[in-house]
Amino acid sequence: MERFAELKTAVESVELVDAHAHNIVALDSTFPFLNCFSEASGDALSDVPHTINFKRSLKEIAQLYGSSLSLHAVQESRQRFGLESSSAICFKAAKISVLLIDDGIELDKKLDIKWHESFVPTVGRILRVEHVAEKILEKGSNRTTWTLGSFMEIFTEELKSVADKVLAFKSIVAYRSGLAINTEVTEKEAEEGLSDVLSAGNPIRISNKSFIDYIFVHALKVAQSYDLPMQIHTGFGDKDLDLRLVNPLHLRNLLEDKRFLKSRLVLLHASYPFSKEASYLASVYPQVYLDFGLAIPKLSFHGMISSVKELLELAPMNKVMFSTDGIAFAETFYLGAKKAREVVFSVLRDACVDGDLSIPEAIATAKDIFAENAKQFYKLDVSSKNSDVKPPLSSSFQEEELNSSLKDVTFVRIIWIDASGQHRCRVVPQQRFYSSVGKHGVGLTCACMGMSSTSDGPAVDTNLTASGEIRIVPDLSTKCRLPWLSSWIFSDMAYMIRSEMTLFHSFKCLAMGFCHLSSYCLLKTILNLPIFIECLVNRAELQYLHLQITICGMGAKQQEMVLADMFIEPGKIWEYCPREALRRVSKILKDEFDLVVNAGFENEFFLLKSVLRDGKEERAPFDRTSYCSTAAFDAASPILEEVFASLQSLNIIVEQLHAEAGKGQFEIALKYTDCSRAADGLIFTREVIRAVARKHGLLATFVPKYALDDIGSGSHVHISLSRNGENIFMASDGSSRYGMSKIGEAFMAGVLNHLPSILPFTAPLPNSYDRIQPNTWSGAYLCWGKENKEAPLRAASPPGVAHGFVSNFEIKTFDGCANPYLGLASIITAGIDGLRRNLSLPEPVDGDPEILKENLQRLPVSLAESVEALEKDTLFRDMIGEKLLVAIKGVRKAEVKYYSENKEAYKDLIYKY
């Protein structure tokens, strides 16, 4: 799978153009929720729960909402979230950037197209021509006065009046009379057909073949004159069609008509079960394009793969498009997008395995199918809007247990990271979160971004005061359960067994507060505890155990956490928001250079135990072993295994872990991902490590230099660049001097050029500079090197990369007190400057920079020096934002002043970082 990691990343990250969908309905609509899973109606709906699509889709929606695995539980979750919140969750998870809506289906309490703009950056309309015709005929005051001429005059005017307001026309001729369209239908035949339609009574339903063929041909002429494409329903749908008549081969008469050779026609629904026929038509007729909505996600997984493969058998890959065919329920958009990504990845991966495509070709194809083909076909100009779409919900951190209920959740922690890099949170009861806070957020003082590590009030030079309030609004794409609360029972059991405690004493300790009721019930199930315990203890003791466990049953409750953005008012982001700062500079990089930054963090931390010295509690290293010691790993295994399991439950991938050089020091390296997700993952990783250490009676600290006579801790970050999911930091051939592309070199040169100014973002405390010293692998001099761990920027060639090539570079002057959003934003800002100015790197330093220091510039030796460098560098003011930059510099100056006056105060940092 590693071979296809880039392809998978590309498929998961591309912003989707949903080229065909329908309106959502209000929560109190009478439209049955079972229609989320099927086109069936009436009595046939009772059979829907027995379909593969229902069982698969229900599981995925339950997972998305964190509800129990039942239709009732999912519907309860929808009601609890409310329409807006549930829609926001679904669209964010789907990562749809453009939504084209056919609003011609009459639904109970359907919401207008504009309503959908709250959830998708670009929303457009598709005009259903038969719906227009039926509405015109219904408005006629006296049906006997209708003539073909009078109707066609109004019909034509109606089409032309909206031609500049819609993105395409659509026809459902397949539903009414089939696809064998008579392009030479006469006016007399059409007149008779109109009479037949009018005589059928209310409501008007156009089904006469001659009349419907006539208005289709006329609508296609109007569409062609306005350079609009035409969507044509083909293949399966609801029962209101004769499947025998919707084979797209019936369109041959239309496709051969010389009047329509320049038209653009897209066949919807993969023409299933006629996918091969549709593929053939797209291969021989230039005006035919294909769309595989509805087939995905309605078929079985094998059926979906088969259908898409059949479309690609003959059809040019630049003529195949995606749509969810979402309708009525926001969940249908999510399901369509999710399954489409999975199916397209599977199909393209197989094509690579078979040798039909290279991985770069497959990545390009994925982008074409999901976005670029539709942009060209519908002539969309959405480049300026789409980059604000946030990462998908379900693939990052929300892996909720399907059999748990939100009723088990007591509190939700809303987390933000301030300018000093401290993790802070507001906690609200679960009921309030899901009824209000999840959508509207909670109030917070503006001073929150002016606080230093020394005070919970705003620093004087930040321009932030106690006056004014913002709101922190949860980013629901990051919401997850606290894994350490649900998994700690197993570490306690392991501890008891290793300690050779008696079985009864073990269970007695568990009952007296070391475990909670749900854990006890789980153990009861696994070990048949009542029988097992009764063999060892008398009934009075057993009753005592049950009593204690019942008393401690409150521990069964769970908590959730979610990261938050900062808003000054609804819909208006606060300019001090760190997450927005990272998104802003990432958008500039994407818009100007079509590049995405990927980041992978290393987490170095110390595990400290509590000891008494002279009657006072102090903190001492957990152990005193050396770098990569197996003994250290053995001693810490219970902690590290639980950390690993917790991170796995959050879909945060650990690449490796080991004991570091410091006493009681360890490192956990995370897999690279896009920079916003990497920063989110780093926050959750720190939370996990600290919490699990606390459970084991230890304190985990990420402070850069907790003991001045020991090694320091960093949070080194590895940076690479990608375009269309392909790593382009690395050179494509051997012509590069350094094994990196010119783009990679220019970006890295920008970072090197601005590194002294970057330090206030990545090394934010005076204590940070106690770590950045020569001969400590922390990078003390302004230089770079190839695999030189003494250089602050290290070009890396990990195993699997061809000899002489560089896949990424590592920044060593990044520590665990940095706000990762601000740190990455500063790095990207500098890299953009390097790209704009086409900077080149100086010669690499291969030896010890300390020996060569006469020819090298020393990096700032203090926070005061780095802040001075930042004040002289105008780049960050323009890119990060002047107000945010003033606040950051004000906080840093407060740190400098306090710690210069309180020399021993750094020792308290272990409790804050």
Average pLDDT by stretches of 10, the chain with 913 residues? 75 92 90 86 87 90 86 87 88 93 89 91 94 86 75 94 94 91 94 89 86 95 95 84 90 94 93 93 95 87 90 94 93 94 93 89 94 94 46 36 54 93 92 85 91 88 88 89 65 37 39 36 37 39 40 57 91 92 94 93 92 83 86 87 90 88 90 91 95 92 90 93 88 82 95 96 95 89 91 89 88 95 97 96 91 91 95 90 93 93 89 89
Question: How many Cα atoms occupy the beta-carbon half-sphere of 624 within 13 Å?
Answer: 1
Nearest to 839 by CA among 719, 754, 733, 722: 754
d(C-alpha 390, C-alpha 584), whole Å: 12
pLDDT given for residue 382 in this prediction = 65
d(C-alpha 167, C-alpha 177), whole Å: 25
Bridge partner residues of 796 (DSSP): 808
d(C-alpha 398, C-alpha 404), whole Å: 13
Question: How many Cα atoms occupy the beta-carbon half-sphere of 616 within 13 Å?
Answer: 3
Asked if 753 and 791 touch (Cβ cutoff 8 Å), the reply is no
Asked if 438 and 469 touch (Cβ cutoff 8 Å), the reply is no
pLDDT given for residue 557 in this prediction = 63
Asked if 266 and 231 touch (Cβ cutoff 8 Å), the reply is yes
Nearest to 102 by CA among 29, 174, 23: 23
Give me 285's structure tokens.
Answer: 């007729």
Instruction: Determine whether 262 is exposed, middle or buried from the number of CB atoms within 10 Å of its CB (0-12, 13-18, 19+).
Output: exposed
For residue 740, give the DSSP letter: B
**What one-letter code names the amino acid at 231?**
Q
Beta carbons within 8 Å of 96's beta carbon, 6+ residues apart: 15, 16, 17, 18, 120, 324, 333, 337, 389
Instruction: Determine whether 737 is exposed, middle or buried from the number of CB atoms within 10 Å of its CB (0-12, 13-18, 19+).
Output: exposed
- Per DSSP (E only), the strands in 253-353 are 265-268, 288-291, 293-294, 320-321
d(C-alpha 264, C-alpha 167), whole Å: 12
pLDDT given for residue 366 in this prediction = 94
For residue 555, give the DSSP letter: G
Asked if 685 and 701 touch (Cβ cutoff 8 Å), the reply is no
d(C-alpha 595, C-alpha 720), whole Å: 10
pLDDT given for residue 42 in this prediction = 82
Nearest to 281 by CA among 318, 319, 245, 229: 319
pLDDT given for residue 401 in this prediction = 34
pLDDT given for residue 526 in this prediction = 36
Nearest to 269 by CA among 242, 301, 245, 238: 238
Opening angle at CA 40, ends 38 and 43, nearest 5: 130
How much is the pTM? Answer: 0.59
d(C-alpha 343, C-alpha 305), whole Å: 6
